[in-house]
Homo-oligomer: A and B are copies of this chain.
Amino acid sequence: MRRIRYSVVASLDGYIAGPNGEYDWIIHDPDFDFNEVFAQFDTILVGRRTFDTMVAAQRTTMPGMKTMVFSRTLKPEDHPQVTIIAKDHRQTLLALKASAGKDIWLFGGGSLFRSLAEHGLVDTLEVSIMPILLGAGTPLSPDLTNRIKLSLTAHKVKRTGVVSLEYAIQ
C-alpha cells in the first residue's frame, strides 16, 4: 500500500503559513536534498485554498508529480494540468493507495489533512519545525473533531535549528 504522508513546515506554535499566507519565515536548509525528497513521491494532494496559492504563483505542478486538487467548485476544464476530485474522496484515495506507485504527498493545507485524517486515510505526519513563533496564521490541524494520537518514528535536528519530526498516525 502506498502511504499518504502529510509533510509540512510549521512554526513552533503550529502554523503552516502566516496570517496573510506568508512563507518568508521558512529557513532554507542548505543540507536539504530536494531530489531525495521528491524521489519518494509521485503524487501531491492539495486542498482548494492551497491550490489557489499555487495558481497565483503559477506553479500548479511539480516535476514528476501528478497534482490532485480536492474541490467541489473548481472546473476541470479550467485546470487541465491537474486532476480535480469533487466527490468520493475516500473511494478515490483508497483506490489510489492500493494502486502501484510511490508515496503520496499531502502537501496542504490543514483542512484537507483534517478531512482525510478523520477518514483514517493519512499514514504519517512529518513536520519540520522552524525556530520561530508566528502567533497567528494557518493552523497545522484546524478544528479537529477528535484528537489525533501520534507515534514518533524518527527525528532529525539540523544545524539551522530546524527540528524534523516524523510520526505515524495512530
Q: Are the CB atoms of A133 and B161 closer together than 8 Å?
A: no
Q: Which residues of B contact A82 (CB under 8 A)?
A: none
Q: Is A94 an interface residue (CB 8 A)?
A: no
Stretch from A51-59, A70-78, A84-92, A144-152 forming part of the interface with B: A144-152
Stretch from A37-45, A60-68, A135-143 forming part of the interface with B: A135-143
Q: How far is the CB of A65 from chain B (nearest CB, A)?
A: 26
Chain A interface (Cβ < 8 Å from any Cβ of B): 11-15, 18, 25, 114, 125, 127, 129, 131-136, 139-152, 155, 157, 161, 163, 165, 167
Q: Are the CB atoms of A163 and B161 closer together than 8 Å?
A: no
Question: Contacts A14-B12, A165-B163: A132 and B152 contacting too (C-beta < 8 A)?
Answer: no
Question: Contacts A13-B139, A14-B14, A14-B140: A133 and B152 contacting too (C-beta < 8 A)?
Answer: no
CA distance A114 to B145 in the complex (A): 28
CA distance A135 to B125 in the complex (A): 14
Question: Contacts A147-B25, A151-B161, A161-B152: A131 and B167 contacting too (C-beta < 8 A)?
Answer: yes
Q: Which residues of B contact A135 (CB under 8 A)?
A: 114, 141-148
Q: Are the CB atoms of B150 and A133 closer together than 8 Å?
A: yes
Q: Which residues of B contact A136 (CB under 8 A)?
A: 143-144
Nearest residue, chain B, Cβ from A162 = B152
